[in-house]
Every structure is written in C-alpha cells, then in structure tokens.
Structure 1
Amino acid sequence: MLIYNAEIHTMSDRGVIPCGWIETEDGKIKAMESGAPKDIPDGSINAEGGMLLPGFIDAHTHLGIIEDSLDFEGDDCNESTDPFTPQMRAIDGINPFDRCFEEARSRGITAVASSPGSANACGGEIAAIKTYGRRIDDMLIKSCGIKFALGENPKNVYNGREETPITRMAITALIREGLYKARRYVHDMGSYYSDSENYDPPEYDIKCEALMPLLDRKVKAFFHCHRADDICTALRISKEFGLDPVIIHGTEGQLIADIIAEENVPVICGPLICDRCKPEMRGLELKNASVLHENGVKICICTDHTVIPIQYLPLSAQAAVKGGLDLGEALKTLTIAPAEILGIDETTGSLTEGKDADIQLYRKGANPLDLMSEPVLVMVDGNICRREI
C-alpha cells in the first residue's frame, strides 16, 4: 500500500515531512520519503495534503476486560477475593469482540494497555495489545508490567469486608511481603540451578513466578496512585526492590513534579475530562500534565477506559493542551511517549521503516485532537480498518 501527497508527522527524529509518501508491505512500514514517489501503483491513496500520523496509543485502559453495556457478566477486571494477585493476567480476561475496540479504531487508536483494576494491592499482569483482531493472542504486543494500587481503592474494597488491607500501611506491607517472597524465591531457584545436588528447588509458587520478570526489570511496575504521598510510596518501594516504576494517574503529580523528575519516573496522566469523583481526585486540574512536562517528567495521556470512553482519548489530550501543554507535545503523549513508557516503541509509536504499519490519516487542515475530527484512514498492522478517502 502506497500513501502519497501527505504531511507526515513521524514522531521520530525525522520530524515532519511536509509533503511525502509512505509505503507498507506485510504489515510493516517499508519505505518513507519526501517528495513524490517514482511510481504510483493502482490502489494507492492520495492523501491530498492531509496529516499522516502513527496510530494513537492509550497507555492505561481496561478495554475488553470491562465490557461495554454489561455489569458483572462482562467485568473481569478485579479478582477481589485476594488483595495480592500478581498471577492474574489481563490477557485471560479480554474479549476482543467488545464493541469498544471498533470505537477505538474509529478514532485512530491502534494500540492500548489493558490492565487489571485497582481493587487489589497487586492486581496482575498488564497486556499491551493492538485494537484489531479476533483472537487476543494474535493482538498481543507484549506483557508490559505488573499492576499495583495504592490508597483509596484497595482501602474501600477490603474495609467493607473488615479484611486486610484497610490502611495505606497494610497495602504497602502486602506489596513488600509479596516482593520479598519473590526475591527469596528467585534466590532459592538460583541456588538449585547452580548446585542441584545440594539444593532442592523451592515449592512452586505462581505469585512468585509472576513477579520474577518484575524483579529482573524485564517488565515495569505500574502503580495506580492519585495522591502525592502515594506517589512517593511507589517511588520508595521501587527503590527498595530495584523496580522500573511507572505512575498511573498521578493526579497530584503537579505538587511534587520536581521530585518525580529527579527520580526519572514517567507518569500516565488521566482521566482528565471527568469530575472529581472521589476524595483522591480532589486535586484534579488540567494543568497537571503541563506542569509535569515542564519539570522534565515523561508523560502520556490516558482515558482509563471505561472511566472515559476510549474514543475520547484525543479529546483528553486536547484538555491537557487547554491546561498549558503544547499541541506538538500533546500529540507525542498519544504516540511515541506511551510507546516508550510501555516498552513497545521498537514496533510502534512512530512512523519509521521496519515498524508496524499502525497509521492514521486526517484531511488537510484537521486537528487530530478536535472533538469533531475523525481519521479518514486507519491501519493496524497494515490492515485497513477504516477508510473514507
């Protein structure tokens, strides 16, 4: 597939190609250059000067794991029978036939991170997935991290049952206990593999097994936290166990932006276009993303779907622009920045030869973040999912 006469926003070091063409083959970007192509095969698309972008990425959702229009029957987000469940895998609860996948694609969203919820101190494994496909195994990009939650959510869930944890101390203690056990498990496994004659393997522990990649920094630790003190707790735990942390929500990040920047920890900001629906969100302000960015924190914008419907991801970034974020930076928060934060930037997030053909096209003069804008072309892995040109 050849797309020509396009204003290509690569979201890479190449910047903007004011008039160029891009060719895809076998689901990948084969070539991309400025000017006119030498040959224009039948079936090529004339972009007519429109803006060509990488597909948008929502770095924190519950897409497919909380299904549209369903209550308990379609809610597989929280295994709230145990406050510490790292062995739960989002991929095992996602329904790719949920209509919201189509709504995501219609707004140019080609990849998301779908996460277990925040009822538990540890909720499970987050899946980075494409938004096109019928079998989740084929849509999976990678398992990108383990979800933890601090503060109000676990407190509310378990306080009603008069079970642990009902305080921030207990939430953190549970996380610390689980990580210590996993670290000892890794040590005991290492002893067995290095000297099986004198050491027995530890008894199989599915929770410890799930945490091993986290301790090896092969995947990241994603911490749900709104309040500034909870953000600092996430930083403290991460230092203690040598984790690679990411802050989800970070609503009060603006209060400690310099501290977060000093620790070089990214923040997934959102939801933004919602009310202050619980006490931890009383500090919600549109300027949060801008303040974090100005202090040198890597940020991206999320919907937390189903909190905000997935198709309003671009509008959420527009809200951050209203709060002071530069428009160019806002586009990065939906493309290369979430790809880097999720660890999937080798395959998606920018328009670069060899990367997946996750592409969207807007008519000339359109603002991709505007409520009334919709892409006229969307491709996921080279598959045309939407075409109106």
Structure 2
Amino acid sequence: MLLIKNGKVLTMAGITYEKGCILVEDGKIKEIGESIVETENMEIIDAKGGWVMPGIIEAHCHIGIMEEDKGFEGNDTNEMTDPVTPQLRAIDAINPMDTAFNDAVEGGVTSVMTGPGSANVVGGQFVFMKTKGKSIDDMIVKEPAAMKIAFGENPKRVYSGKGKMPATRMATAALLRETLTKAAQYKEKKEKALAKGEDFTEDFKQEAWLPVLNQEIPLKAHAHRSDDILTAIRIGKEFNLHMTLDHCSEGHFIPEYVAASSYPAIIGPTLTRRSKIEVQNKTFKTPGIVHKAGTLVALTTDHPVIPVQYLSKCAGLAAKEGLGIEEGLKAITINAATICGVADRVGSLEVGKDADIAIFSGNPMEIFTDTLYTIIDGQIVYKA
C-alpha cells in the first residue's frame, strides 16, 4: 500500500483538502481524507504541502505514433494513400519506447488520447492509454476510443496534390457523408441478416464504423476554422453521432453555435506559431469564451506540435486569458476524462478509481512549479 500525506489534495470532484491524505492499494484509490492511520506495511510519500492532483490528461495528441527525432521511420501518423481509412488502428503503430512518454511522465501527464493525424477525411481509430509501460496492450484504457475525421486545409492539400478527391471543402464533406451513408446501410444489412439467422460476410473496413454508429465512441473532428466547425456539427447531427470538436481554433467566433451543438471542444494547440491559414485567429482566449457559452472544454498540445509535458502551462495561459484557475485545472483532468469517455477510471481522485496521481510543488499551471512525483496505477513512475 502507498500512503500520500500532508498534501493539498485537489480531488477535482468538488472537494479540496488543504492538508489531506490518499491511500492506494492494488493500483486503485482506497481512501481519501484529512487523516489516515499509518501502518508498517505502507510506503509513505510526504507531500510537504505540495499539490496532489489527478494525473494530467492529454485529450488529443500523436504521442508514440509520431515519434520525436526519427523522421520518416518514426512517423506513422498519416496513411496518405487513401482519403478514407477507418480501419486503421493507432495501437498498431504506437511505440511505447518513444522518448516523449518519459517527458509526459515527468510533466505529470499520466494518460493520453493518441492516434492518426488529419491528412485523411477519415484517419482511423484513436486509443486512450497510460503513459508508462513496455507494451501498448498493457497500457490501454479504451480502444477504440474515437474515430478521427478531418475538415479544412489538410485533406484538400494532401489529395489535391495527388489529383484526387478531396481538393475542396465540398469534397471533404461529400466523402464523409457518402462513407457514413454506406456504413449505416452496412449496419442495417448486418442487423437484418443476423436477426434472420442468415449468413453475413463481414467487411473489415465497414466494421470499424459500428462503434461510431452505435454511439459507443465519438467522431474526433479536426476543425480549426469556424466554417469547418459548423460543417462538422452539421454532419454529426445529420447522422445522429457523438462528436468532439478538436482544435476549435475559431470557436470564440461562434461560441453560441458550439454550445448549442452539445459537442465538447478540445482546444489547441495554441502555444505555437500560426503555421496555416486556418489557425490565423487562434488565441488563448478561446477556451474561456467557449466555456462561458456553456461548452465542456479540454485542452490539447497536439503533441508533438507542442511537447506534451507543457500541457499544464498551456492551461495556465488559458486560465490567465479568461478560463480561470479552476476550469483550467478541470480542462486537463476531469473534463478531459469526461470528453474522452474514461471518467469512470481517471480524471479525479475518488475511491475506486485508478491511482493515477501527480504531486507538484505548487500550482502546475505556473512556470516555476516542479513535478515531484508521478504515480500511474499505484506505482511511482517518476520522482524528482
């Protein structure tokens, strides 16, 4: 058993203990309170007034699938040979030995949503996973966790250069509608055949759509510009699907429409240059504006666009520009977990949840704050 004591415990579940304790057993949180009796068989961490929080969560990135400093050999992010590839699975390309996972752990980041990039209209399946381990199979929390789709510049730039669809935003939307229509028809045909006890030949590519159509996982929609955000919402509603609005860089122009959609927003990366036309209006004010309109907000580094260990600092800048300290912390913990569909396991410090805990010298959103300990599934994986 592991006992953490003398910390400012921010549970992110509505309770903060100015001087609290957490007891961990078998990888889960067993007890939280102002005082817990110590026994001889406990390993003790004295937080000495440090901030004890849920491990930080990155809700959209490409860690492990776009490795650092390896060029082509380490980049398996985009299969740029077909604009529609729902059958691709991130788990088959993620390298747990990517050095960025060590950086994540040192930054207090204990879990991530990672997967394909935005070159394709449909990129494939994301996975939600822990940030420490030797085998992806042991690190998985949820798989598949989302289906990546993309609007805007990237698909049209990639495929116009190949002389094929999509070369316009119209074609991107049309391809997605056509794909979803065929997937829905496949689902209906399969269900009818199975109900009648008839033989049915499964289509590997179409099978990947079933968790989306059954609303088990969301479409993960890459959309920066306001018109692209609205197109994503339009198509999501047409097919009655769950969706997350990823990047949402111009969400501050249309906050009422984003809120009315009921789709959550994963905003960023913002701490980087304006490298494309569609991010010309990005600002750290966006999270606060979108949140105040009524949308559930998380933040992203889009690693490796911004190194994943700086997610908490991005939250600090968003907090400064209107999101506020409490919502800034939620955006990288419980909100991120809720949006990623894993709040039953991570995102807050509650009895029964995974013991994914980060201990900081102070507020992790402040630049001079150090990570003191990172704990994943009850195991200390980083110590300053």
Residue aligning to 2:102: 102
Residue aligning to 1:152: 153
In structure 2, the residue corresponding to 1:265 is in which secondary structure?
A: coil
On the 8 A contact 2:24/2:378 being kept in 1, the answer is yes
Matched, 1:12 2:10: no
C-alpha distance in structure 2 between counterparts of 1:107 and 1:191, whole Å: 50
C-alpha distance in structure 1 between counterparts of 2:170 and 2:80, whole Å: 19
Q: Shift of the alpha carbon at 1:290?
A: 0.7
C-alpha distance in structure 2 between counterparts of 1:271 and 1:20, whole Å: 34
Gaps of 5+ in 2: none
C-alpha distance in structure 1 between counterparts of 2:39 and 2:318, whole Å: 40
Matched, 1:126 2:126: yes
In structure 1, the residue corresponding to 2:37 is in which secondary structure?
A: coil
Moved more, 37-46 or 50-59: 37-46
Query: Structure 1 vs Structure 2: percent identity of aligned residues?
Result: 42
Q: Shift of the alpha carbon at 1:322?
A: 2.5
Q: 1:293-312 residue pairs with structure 2 within 5 A?
A: 293-312=291-310
Matched, 1:238 2:236: yes
Q: Shift of the alpha carbon at 1:194?
A: 1.2
Q: 1:182-197 residue pairs with structure 2 within 5 A?
A: 182-196=183-197
Q: Map Cα deviations across residues 128-159 of structure 1 (whole Å, 9 max, x no partner).
A: 01001000011011021100000100011011
C-alpha distance in structure 1 between counterparts of 2:359 and 2:39, whole Å: 18
Residue aligning to 1:38: 37
Matched, 1:291 2:289: yes
Gaps of 5+ in 1: none
In structure 2, the residue corresponding to 1:233 is in which secondary structure?
A: helix
Q: 1:1-389 residue pairs with structure 2 within 5 A?
A: 1-13=2-14, 15-34=15-34, 36-41=35-40, 43-142=43-142, 143-196=144-197, 200-201=199-200, 203-363=201-361, 366-388=362-384
Q: Shift of the alpha carbon at 1:40?
A: 4.6
Letter in 1 for 2:229: I
C-alpha distance in structure 2 between counterparts of 1:205 and 1:252, whole Å: 38
Q: Give me the CA root mean square deviation.
A: 1.1
In structure 2, the residue corresponding to 1:324 is in which secondary structure?
A: helix
Letter in 1 for 2:64: G
Q: Map Cα deviations across residues 274-308 of structure 1 (whole Å, 9 max, x no partner).
A: 11110000111110011001111110111000111
On the 8 A contact 1:12/1:351 being kept in 2, the answer is yes
On the 8 A contact 1:52/1:362 being kept in 2, the answer is yes
Letter in 1 for 2:162: R
Letter in 1 for 2:37: K
Q: Map Cα deviations across residues 345-389 of structure 1 (whole Å, 9 max, x no partner).
A: 0000000000000001122xx22112232211110111101123x
C-alpha distance in structure 2 between counterparts of 1:118 and 1:206, whole Å: 22
On the 8 A contact 1:178/1:208 being kept in 2, the answer is no
On the 8 A contact 2:23/2:36 being kept in 1, the answer is no
C-alpha distance in structure 1 between counterparts of 2:39 and 2:226, whole Å: 55
Q: Map Cα deviations across residues 194-220 of structure 1 (whole Å, 9 max, x no partner).
A: 113xx552x432221000110000111
C-alpha distance in structure 2 between counterparts of 1:357 and 1:129, whole Å: 14
C-alpha distance in structure 2 between counterparts of 1:40 and 1:270, whole Å: 45
C-alpha distance in structure 2 between counterparts of 1:178 and 1:200, whole Å: 24
Letter in 2 for 1:167: T
TM-score by length of 1: 0.96
On the 8 A contact 1:60/1:112 being kept in 2, the answer is yes
C-alpha distance in structure 2 between counterparts of 1:237 and 1:263, whole Å: 11
